[in-house]
Amino acid sequence: MASMRWNPTQEVNGREKRLMARLGRTGKLFAFLRLHRHELFDESFQKELERSYRDNGAGKEPVPPGLLAMMVLLQGYRRVSDAEAVELTVVDLRWQLVLGCLGMEEPIVAQGTLFNFRQRMIAENLDRRLLERTVELARSTKAFDWRKLPKDLRVAIDSSPLEGSGRVEDTINLLAHAIRKLLACLAVIVGRSAGDIATAAGAPLFATDQSIKAALDREWSDPDQKAAAVPLLSKQIDTVLAWIREHFAEQAAKPPVSELIDAVQRLRDQNLEPDPSGGGSRIREGVAPDRQVSIQDPEMRHGRKSKSKRFNGYKRHLAADVDTKLILAATVTPANRPEEEAAPALVLDIRAYADRNKIGEIYADRGYINSAAVDETLATGGDVICKPWFANGNRKTFPKSRFVFNIRDRTITCPAGEVEHFVPGTVVEFDPEACSHCMMRSSCTMAGHDAGRTVNIGRDELLQIRLRREIATPKGRERLRKRVMIEHSLAHIGRKQGNRARYTGVRKNTFDVRRAASVVNLETVHRELSKAA
């Protein structure tokens, strides 16, 4: 069965005109969307949206996908839930204006339909296409003079923290939460209560609805009492896992029970370790790599805004066109992952544009400098503009900046004039004989008398040398300042999306940041067109 097409009228009637006249100060985007909805959701984009129904064999939705995609956008613009969005199609004339249903007294869509459509958008990567469409709209509406823009893109990349929506728990609550989730799941499958299963397994700590800390009944401010509770908790977790595997082997071998057992096991390994004093388990010293911090959102991680400021959740990454300020790509990574891991996804999305998809310059934060995307840009004749690292190393000895690098000859010259050849990614040692007789030795190295001064040469040392030279010039510093625009884009996204994740997991939050980026782009297009008018 063919999907229904959304055919919004272009012509603005008298009632719509009067309504739009009231949107001059607030809600300007409603009026803009009313005027440009037929261009944004043109024939070809609507066909793409409809394909998501045909390709997966799903039946026809009673609401045109184009209309649903517009609702998704409005939802991002007003930051409202699915339930609220559905209500607003009845009670808010501005929503009705954009959706073409002025005067309707019943919702045009059910909440479940909107939810299902969002899932489809995610599955088919249509959120990326929506963002791409906003850039295409900028071109078709002539918001920018495309002929005057540089042929190759100048792209700025940066990230900002996005607090996760899941509750972050301490080790004891986290482990208890995980085991209770397992018990609750098994209880539904086998038709018994979770408390029954816990009692039968010999784990009374999980047999009641009491919080785990109340069940353990300790003075939690006393470190000794807290430490004494851990072996008991750990023992009962092991007892439950062993009992389930023995008595419900079939269920334990397949999802969802097997996945929940794996999750408990993983959390146990991440949070506990054998107590060397022989008292069973204790809370692990230090933080396990990639430690899960929330049961509700298992993909959230601890991250750092700076050395002293931490956050829990994700990083949202944007790549924007320096010349038009349009956001070209957006993605999300867990907060503990390095920036460089996000760059390939951003670059891939930029390459998917039909034209103006070659990156000539990347303006990036230092965190992205080691990404393959930067290497590729340099390898294809592009340029990278970034603050260099200024590693001073041991402050009691000459910093690296006192050594002179010759990029062409690949030599390094020390303050006393000794010359050595270098290879990126290695350590250069100056001649121990020369260093032992050098007058500057005490200021240069603390190595023993049979060793010379060493200098670490980074894998990207040649790039770093170039960046250090550039930043030393007014022109280089001016070039670097162009990167500021991406910070403004991140601030706009923060205002649109908020700084707390709406959804759980990387993919759904990527959807949300792409939607917010689409709204920010539409506002940019609107602003540019208003300026030109």
Q: Which residues bind ligand SF4 (CB under 6 A)?
A: 414-416, 418, 430, 434-435, 438, 440-441, 444-445, 452-453
Task: Round to whole Å and give the CA distance between 331 and 303.
Answer: 16
Q: How many CA atoms lie within 13 A of 128 on its CB side?
A: 19
Task: Round to whole Å and give the CA distance between 336 and 312.
Answer: 9
φ and ψ at residue 34, rounded to 5 degrees: -60, -40
- Choose among 458, 406, 452, 457: nearest CA to 432: 452
152 backbone φψ class: left, alpha, beta (φ>0; ψ -120 to 50): beta
Amino acid at 380: T
Residue 404 CB, nearest approach to ligand SF4 (Å): 11
The answer to whether the CB of 271 falls within 8 A of the CB of 290 is no
Q: Which is nearer to ligand SF4, 148 or 449 (CB)?
A: 449
Q: Which is nearer to ligand SF4, 340 or 429 (CB)?
A: 429
Q: Which is nearer to ligand SF4, 290 or 409 (CB)?
A: 409
Task: Round to whole Å and give the CA distance between 445 and 532.
Answer: 63
Residue 398 CB, nearest approach to ligand SF4 (Å): 7
What is the DSSP pairing of strand 404-406 with strand 359-364? unpaired
Q: Which is nearer to ligand SF4, 252 or 414 (CB)?
A: 414
Residue 234 CB, nearest approach to ligand SF4 (Å): 54
Residue 415 CB, nearest approach to ligand SF4 (Å): 5
Residue 439 CB, nearest approach to ligand SF4 (Å): 8
- Choose among 69, 65, 291, 255: nearest CA to 171: 291
Residue 284 CB, nearest approach to ligand SF4 (Å): 43
Amino acid at 420: E
Residue 466 CB, nearest approach to ligand SF4 (Å): 23
Task: Round to whole Å and give the CA distance between 430 and 445.
Answer: 10
The answer to whether the CB of 507 falls within 8 A of the CB of 118 is no
Q: Which is nearer to ligand SF4, 454 or 499 (CB)?
A: 454
Is residue 285 classed as helix, strand or coil in its secondary structure?
coil
Distance (Å) of CA 172 to CA 176, 357, 377: 6, 50, 47
Q: Which is nearer to ligand SF4, 400 or 514 (CB)?
A: 400
Q: Which is nearer to ligand SF4, 81 or 456 (CB)?
A: 456
The residue count for the chain? 533
Residue 440 CB, nearest approach to ligand SF4 (Å): 4
Q: Which is nearer to ligand SF4, 227 or 447 (CB)?
A: 447
The answer to whether the CB of 309 falls within 8 A of the CB of 335 is no
Quote the tokens at residue 511.
């959807």
